[in-house]
Amino acid sequence: MATSDTPRSAHARPTAGHEHSSAAQPSQQSGHSDNHAAYVALVHALLEHDRRYYVDNNPSITDHEYDVLRKRLDRIEAEHPDWVVPYSPSKRVGHVPLSAFPKVERSVPMLSLDNTYSAEELAEFDERVRRGLRSAGDPVPPAYILEPKIDGIGIELTYRDGVFILGTTRGDGLVGEDVTNNLRTIKSLPLSLRSPVGLTVRGEVYMQRDDFAQLNDARLKRGEEPFKNPRNAAGGALKQLDPRLVAERPLRVLLYELVDESGAGEHGHATHAAILDHLRALGLPVSRDIQRVDSLDALLTAVSAWQARRNSVPFDIDGLVIKVDRLAQRASLGMTARAPRWAIAYKFPAQQAITRLREIELNVGRTGTITPVAILDPVELAGTTVSRASLHNWDQVARLDLQVGDDVLVEKAGEIIPQIITVLRERRHGRERVLQPIVPPTTCPVCGDTLMRRADEVALRCPGTRPCPAQLREALAFFCNRAAMNIEGFGDKIVADLVARGLVKDVADLFSLTREQILALPRMGEKSADNLLAALTKSRKEATLSRFLTGLGMPLIGEVWAQKIADRYQSLDRLLQHSPEEVFAALAAIHGFGEERAGAVRDYLALGSTRALLNKFLTAGLSPREPERTLTSSTLLGKTLCITGTLSQPRGEIQRRIEAAGGKVTGSVSRKTSYLVIGSEPGEDKRKAAEKNSVPILDEEGLNRVLRGQ
């Protein structure tokens, strides 16, 4: 609550206008002598107040009264450290950082759910359930529980004698990681229950949209990169090895499944609805947006209503989870190899909205591509305010017959990227005079250079011959990113300042920056300057050839192909000892590399500006080498893997680990693929191809298990 580790200002607090319960009574005992029993009672009182504040949103004491109790707890624990119980509120933050997360194998796997996207598919699911129950001799029609499908991170919690003792990530379903100390920092997660039972429950860690917006605002003010979305921010928090950093994230938790329970006597749970009520009674956070329906018509009506009100809940949801309510019927229906037959996930279609195009903004990319961006009247879409949408290229503008002033239909592709679907031409009638045709530019909006279009491309490009500050800014950001040289601290603002002041004219100039030059940047302190210099020194020392080549951003060369080049030449010195034609011949001979890609490398190396840049790196003391790669195990010998989505490590690093275990990475899924590895925001085409070809799907934890031979 209003202590240093639980700031009231971070949460909307309703007025506490009702009478205090017995949980507030320890505040009346402040003049009494302390004893262990009073200390334990104080701990439970504070936990109950935390629960009412963070879970029920219904506090029973004021901030000041809570502070009095908390200060008393801190004093007692300082005087009697041997009294401190593991579920004390003081234990939410302060654990020393870990070096790694221990692995935990669970006896009951966390399975996936089958997905459905239409009313017709829901009707088919209902018919399968009814058919299965008839086959099992059960004449009772099924009733269903609807729960919002939180776009969060799956977890499993274990309580013993009512005390939280273990929290694990989903992992591959069977093996997760122990993130207990990180989960302890979440204020809505009770450290003790209202009854001394032992149980295992499952749910999601997530962030509310308002909390996420405040978190990103704070990061931007500190000059840090904002998080992409609440789910990524929550997942990244749970991966932190230092719980004190996790405590800075506004994480919350909701629970929806009871896996096992002991020590509570016979509750006689016959339905899922009864289980959720039981979890609430224990003080566990359960969604308030649960519905029970007893027919297909009622199910379809509820689903339709949810699509209209999906943004009324304060966190992101991407659909509904629909479960058979009666537990006996679930047992009759059973499971498939990967999912229960008694549950399904209904995924919401992408949301659409109508708004007006106000202007076209021109963005200059790293390679000089001029991308038109639509500036729109702000409109609410999938829980966020949308005011911009990429138009990809000028052919797209022509296909849409788009004009400034048009009313347009906007959709979020994959719930993430806004895009214009169509122009509402019928609304042009009577407004023709205010509409403005969109004409492709002929000069760069930043440097003024004449634009060009290659014969085989639709993109307009700035040739960058002047040079172009916008291209330089993008090139620097790309060079510093995690998948390339991984130079921390060089965010957009710092990069823009370096370019604006002429301190860097190419990416090699980064390694010639002095402390005095960095200190001269706006809002730059000595510690920040030293951190930037340390990051450059670290990058110079640890750079590998594959990361370096990735960071250069050669045409057609990403992490995978940069690794192939690095494997062939091993060092920048050795690469430069060969002529561009010799490099072309060597790369074209590599299986899968191809003459087009090899030709792009040849043409890049043949440029005088490229040779000058690479020699400049050598002069600055950067001479990256590729570590010798040896087969560290044979766990993936003869196996072919495909990767999709964002993982915790750069794609190139994941590929190196796979190849070190004898495996091979490809860019597509076929019947010959051994595994599809998926991260966050995976490509749906690859997932569907894997399901069609019965290719096993692994998340990152599953891949780690396979690499370990488990």
**Structural domain spans, the chain:** 8-92, 122-347, 352-437, 469-542, 545-619, 640-707
What are φ and ψ of residue 351, in 5° steps? -80, 150
Q: Is the confidence at residue 342, as pLDDT, over 90?
A: yes
Q: How confident is the model at residue 93 (pLDDT cuts 50, 70, 90)?
A: low
Under CATH, which architecture does the 545-619 domain have? Orthogonal Bundle (1.10)
Q: b vs e for 484-520, b when ≥16 Cβ sit within 10 Å of the residue's Cβ? A: bbbbebbbeebbbbbbeeebbebbbbbbebeeeebee
602 in helix, strand or coil?
helix
> Does 8-92 carry CATH code 1.10.287.610?
yes
Residue that wins the pLDDT comparison between 65 and 72: 72
| Bridge partners, 423 (sequence order) | 408
Dist. CA 16–CA 58, nearest whole Å: 7
- List the beta strands (DSSP E) in 225-383: 252-262, 291-293, 317-324, 343-347, 352-364, 370-381
- Long-range CB contacts for residues 592-600, cutoff 8 Å, separation at least 24: 593/561, 593/564, 596/556, 597/556, 597/557, 597/561, 600/554, 600/555, 600/556, 600/557
Pseudo-torsion of CA 341, 342, 346, 347, nearest 10°? Answer: -50
Which pLDDT score is estimated for 263?
A: 57
Under CATH, which architecture does the 469-542 domain have? Orthogonal Bundle (1.10)
Dist. CA 185–CA 73, nearest whole Å: 18
Residue that wins the pLDDT comparison between 404 and 56: 404
Q: How confident is the model at residue 55 (pLDDT cuts 50, 70, 90)?
A: low
Q: Is the confidence at residue 22, as pLDDT, over 60?
A: no
Most confident of 222-226, 465-469, 497-501: 497-501
Q: Is the confidence at residue 161, as pLDDT, over 70?
A: yes
Dist. CA 402–CA 527, nearest whole Å: 50
Q: How confident is the model at residue 383 (pLDDT cuts 50, 70, 90)?
A: low
What mean pLDDT do residues 420-442 have? 89
Q: How confident is the model at residue 45 (pLDDT cuts 50, 70, 90)?
A: confident
CATH code of 122-347, in short, is 3.30.470.30
What mean pLDDT do residues 226-245 have? 82
Dist. CA 671–CA 695, nearest whole Å: 7
Q: How confident is the model at residue 6 (pLDDT cuts 50, 70, 90)?
A: very low
What mean pLDDT do residues 370-383 have? 86
Q: Is the confidence at residue 49, as pLDDT, over 90?
A: no
Q: How confident is the model at residue 11 (pLDDT cuts 50, 70, 90)?
A: very low
pLDDT single digits (tens) 246-284? 888 899 999 999 998 875 544 568 999 999 999 999 999
Fold agreement between 469-542 and 545-619 = yes
Specify whether the CB–CB gap between 243 and 93 falls below 8 A.
yes
What pairing do the DSSP bridges indicate for beta strands 252-262 and 115-116?
A: unpaired
Average per-residue pLDDT in the chain?
84
Among the four given CATH numbers 2.60.120.10, 3.40.50.300, 2.40.50.140, 3.40.50.2000, the one describing domain 352-437: 2.40.50.140
Which pLDDT score is estimated for 413?
A: 58
CA-nearest of 573, 570, 548 to 559 is 548
Catalytic residues: 149
Which pLDDT score is estimated for 440?
A: 92
Q: Is the confidence at residue 415, as pLDDT, over 70?
A: no
What mean pLDDT do residues 11-39 have? 50
Pseudo-torsion of CA 157, 160, 166, 167, nearest 10°? Answer: 10
Tokens of 208: 């509310």
Q: How confident is the model at residue 467 (pLDDT cuts 50, 70, 90)?
A: confident
CATH fold for the domain made of 640-707: Rossmann fold (3.40.50)
